[in-house]
Amino acid sequence: MNVALLDDAENGRDYTRVRDAIRYLVSHAGDQPQLADLAAALYLSESRLQRLFSRWAGVSPKRFIQQLTCEAAKTRLAAGAPVLSLSHELGLSGASRLHDLFVTLEAMTPGEYQQGGAGLDIVWSVEASRFGPALLARTARGVCALQFLADEAEAEAWLRARWPRAALRHVAGQGRELCGRLFDPLAEADGPPLALRVQGSNFQIQVWRALLAVPYGGLLSYRQLAERLGRPGAARAVGNAVGANPVAWLIPCHRVIRAEGALGGYRWGEERKLDLIGWESARLAAAGEVAA
């Protein structure tokens, strides 16, 4: 039996369990559910659920739900600069344990964009991640796609639509190690910065670069992001560019929410957006407690 396949299957089951736990916590937040209630709903023992959830999120289910409320989101939106300041104080930028990869972004040339990737070699695979199956595709000059997609057929169709003239090469497992680093909260940073090589319009590239400046655990509204770009009246256009992001997580479009604290849309599902925000926020809170 292939050990890697067993690990992938177990990771997938763990993601489903934690996703279901988050669904329950959010839908019952007003009742302040106890660990016993959550464990019973998921047909798991309290001790197993506590271990699983804490290993995945780095904090208890109780602390996690505290970070997911609309009021908490609005507070973090209003905090703005203090969140960024805190992240630096805790060492959460650059070589931190909580976001361990320094990311650089380079746009493809207009010629590559217009020619549909002609002459471009793309190696890809679908890998298990703590947030579900993920397409990871790379060129010789960097990662060009990280998408939460269900299977290889869907992944290849997405790549073909985006780069119809590129040479696509599926190599099973080629992105497993990188996916492990991306989504492992205890990973140490080493090696060179992670390069992204993306395809987009000039405006989209500007928006994605601005997203890279949003700190780990931070949130901002579409209007705030538009203001950072010097385009205060372009919140809708900014939202469209955010939604077109080809590299999930690394270009953190999940950190943009509506001004009133609601999640807003997410191309890979609002539940996954909630997972991402809650995981980052809970780990940031836990790090703050340790630092204090």
179 is catalytic: no
User: Minimal CA–CA distance to 83: which of 274, 211, 217?
Assistant: 217
Task: Give Cβ neighbours of residue 7 (< 8 Å, ≥ 6 apart).
Answer: 128
User: Minimal CA–CA distance to 272: which of 19, 14, 66, 24?
Assistant: 19
E-state strands within the chain: 103-107, 121-127, 134-139, 142-147, 167-170, 194-198, 220-221, 256-257
Per-residue b/e over 259-283, b at no fewer than 16 CB within 10 Å? eebebbebebeebbbbbbbbbbbbb
Which residue in the block uniquely carries the two structure tokens 């099973």? 172
Selecting among 70, 144, 179, 253, the annotated active-site residue is 253
Residues with a known catalytic role: 253
